[in-house]
Structure 1
Amino acid sequence: MPVSDMTSKRCYYEVLGIERTASDDDLKKAFRRLAMKCHPDRCPDDPHAQEKFKEAKEAYEILGDGQKRAAYDQYGHAAFEHGMGGRGGGFNGDVGDIFGDIFSDIFGMGGGRGRARRGSDLRYLLELDLEEAVFGVDKQIEVPTLVACSECSGSGSEDGKTSTCATCRGHGRVRMQNGIFSVQQTCPHCAGSGKTVANPCRSCRGEGRINDERTLDVKIPAGVDNGDRIRLTGQGEAGPAGTVPGDLYVEVRVREHPIFTREGDDLYCEVPVRFAQATLGAELSVPTLGGEATVTIPPETQTGKLFRLRGKGVKSVRSGRTGDLLCRVVLETPVKLTARQRELLEEFESTFVGENAHTHSPRNRSWFDGVKQFWDRVTS
């Protein structure tokens, strides 16, 4: 059982709002929450924010170190007074590094301790035909990028020898202290690798990478759409000597199709229909991505009507669901009429007379009724 504290300090577990049995992950999460809540920059109107933040930081510095946490559990705050711990005591873990890691995570200042800088991620815009996007395709692409130098195998050293960086002492990161804030950043001398070279490679001048063009095979899965991205791990830009490469993101752009447009997993197409076909009804052959299909046009079909062919759309790359093909009827006005065709149409049009003429044109009647109501409102 730990010795009870005789100081005015609050229990560190109480400060962070966790149990004594809390895991390291729970500890880190608790400090994250407090740091976000009590940071002075985020709470300019709270006069006690800085004190709360310092208290949380102190608690995390102790409990975040395994040795210090064990001492605190046994002796309480007394473990870090007058030589039993803390400054000049027997616990030599780098508390600043611990805090720097989590501070960096919270406020976006970079990665954790010793994490070397990696190569940049790249984006490649790949244009596909609709059929390629729907059914999938294997593509070969040429990507201009920085690649590992073959002469030094990416080490940057002519003779293959490296030494520990004197600036960061091999950690790859350096810590900067400003008041109560402690942040880490990539070592500027070794670019985060923790190593330096005394005899740089002549081909890459010690960088460990050179400009080149890489040929890659990319498998495009069936069902991809505009904006979808395919991640190729490690195929991005090579990192500085001794570090890992970035990733390549292949972003899909689908070319405009002469017949179909795509909305989600559904396809749309327009089907031109002659006047007589729309009036009397007809069976029409329409294209699909899998071949022809038949659409039955019932009598008195109006332009713009949609006919759905289920399962003739796109199979989703995510859900596996297959969309539909929706065919939109577009009524065509006949052109280049013969004399006989014109005569028949004139004769047909002459039958639309009398009081019942509107019964043959439902949209015409409703349109004129709307126009009449509009003018009545304008002139009243």
Structure 2
Amino acid sequence: GNDLRTSIDITFEEAAFGAEKVVNVSKAVRCETCEGSGAKPGTQPQPCSECGGRGEVSYQQGFFAITRPCPRCNGSGQVITSPCSACGGSGQTRKRSQIAVKIPPGVDTGQRLKLAGEGEAGERGGPSGDLYVVINILPHEFFTRDEFDVICEVPITFVQAVLGAEIDVPTLEGKVKMKIPGGTQSHKIFRLKSKGLAKLGSYGRGDQLVRVIVEVPTKVSSEQKDVLKQFEAMNTKASNPMHHNFFEKLKNFFG
């Protein structure tokens, strides 16, 4: 029978830990009335008179003997003289089926799962095709992925970046505490070992990469402005080495 293809949406967590899902598929199934034979109940397919039941015919073309499928029985070697009224002799009827799909941990968008024998039934009792289920992972509020690593961006305040802090970080298993050292720069990445996705077809898990984003205040009061100006006035080369080094190089470059 013919192979079929369908797609399924799953959550990020289902991709991480695996899941049992169900897909609805419209497909050709074996006719229950004739049990897939295509013949009216109480009758049997008969040997094809043109090919003698061999399913192929031969003819001479010059010095060569050519063999091809029999045009009368389409290569089956049998003809149905009394076709089944339910399927018209094809041995198939259409049905909408619910099929269970086991999602393995670690799958990614675009990957295909093969369900052997869950495709369309073969004609007149022939073997069924396969069903291919294409995975689509829905966007997550916090997480993206890079292969088996989970990536999460967490905003921190300017003060937390300067002084250090302990912050809450979402993971696939829930919130965890993570320490931010003083002097942390924006976009610095921290690694949480074995907090990523299961490695499909292998052992272990990936990591979670936490990228901290230093949020610069967009609205400040007069008092806050005064404090920041005092802070800026007390800045030294040691406290902002990148800033001072850049403008020192810029000054030397242009003379």
The two structures share one fold, judged by TM-score above 0.5:
yes
The one-character-per-residue Cα deviations of 1:253-297 (angstroms, maximum 9, x if unpaired) are 111111111111110000111111111111111011012222211
Matched, 1:140 2:19: no
Aligned to 1:59: none
The one-character-per-residue Cα deviations of 1:307-334 (angstroms, maximum 9, x if unpaired) are 0000101111200221100100111012
Instruction: Return the match for 2:112 from 218, 222, 229.
Output: 229
Matched, 1:362 2:241: yes
Aligned to 1:71: none
Matched, 1:251 2:128: no
Residues 226 and 252 in structure 1, CA contact (< 8 A), matched pair in contact too: yes
Aligned to 1:16: none
How far residue 170 of structure 1 moved from its aligned partner, in angstroms, is 3.7
Residues 9 and 137 in structure 2, CA contact (< 8 A), matched pair in contact too: yes
User: CA–CA distance in 1 between the matches of 2:128 and 2:189?
Assistant: 51
Residues 230 and 249 in structure 1, CA contact (< 8 A), matched pair in contact too: yes
Aligned to 2:214: 331
Instruction: Return the match for 2:158 from 275, 282, 298.
Output: 275
Instruction: Return the match for 1:164 from 38, 42, 47.
Output: 47
User: CA–CA distance in 2 between the matches of 1:283 and 1:228?
Assistant: 38
Q: Which structure is higher in RCO with an 8 Å CA cutoff and minimum separation 6?
A: 2
Give the structure-1-normalised TM-score. 0.60
Residues 193 and 242 in structure 1, CA contact (< 8 A), matched pair in contact too: no
User: CA–CA distance in 1 between the matches of 2:251 and 2:112?
Assistant: 54
Matched, 1:294 2:187: no
Residues 266 and 323 in structure 1, CA contact (< 8 A), matched pair in contact too: yes
How far residue 372 of structure 1 moved from its aligned partner, in angstroms, is 6.8
How far residue 147 of structure 1 moved from its aligned partner, in angstroms, is 1.6
Residues 22 and 101 in structure 2, CA contact (< 8 A), matched pair in contact too: yes
Secondary structure of 1:293 counterpart? strand
User: CA–CA distance in 1 between the matches of 2:241 and 2:64?
Assistant: 76
1:233 maps to amino acid: A
Higher Rg of the two aligned structures: 1
User: CA–CA distance in 2 between the matches of 1:188 and 1:296?
Assistant: 77
Instruction: Return the match for 1:349 from 224, 232, 244.
Output: 232
Unaligned runs of 5+ in 1: 1-118
Which residues in structure 2 correspond to 1:1-380 (within 5 Å)? 119-159=1-41, 160-172=43-55, 189-352=72-235, 357-365=236-244, 367-368=246-247
User: CA–CA distance in 2 between the matches of 1:183 and 1:300?
Assistant: 83
User: CA–CA distance in 2 between the matches of 1:147 and 1:234?
Assistant: 11
Bigger strand share: 2
Quickly say closer, same or farther: Cα 1:221–1:189, change in 2 above 3 A.
farther
Bigger helix share: 1
User: CA–CA distance in 2 between the matches of 1:177 and 1:370?
Assistant: 90
Query: Which is worse superposed, 290-299 or 324-333?
Result: 290-299
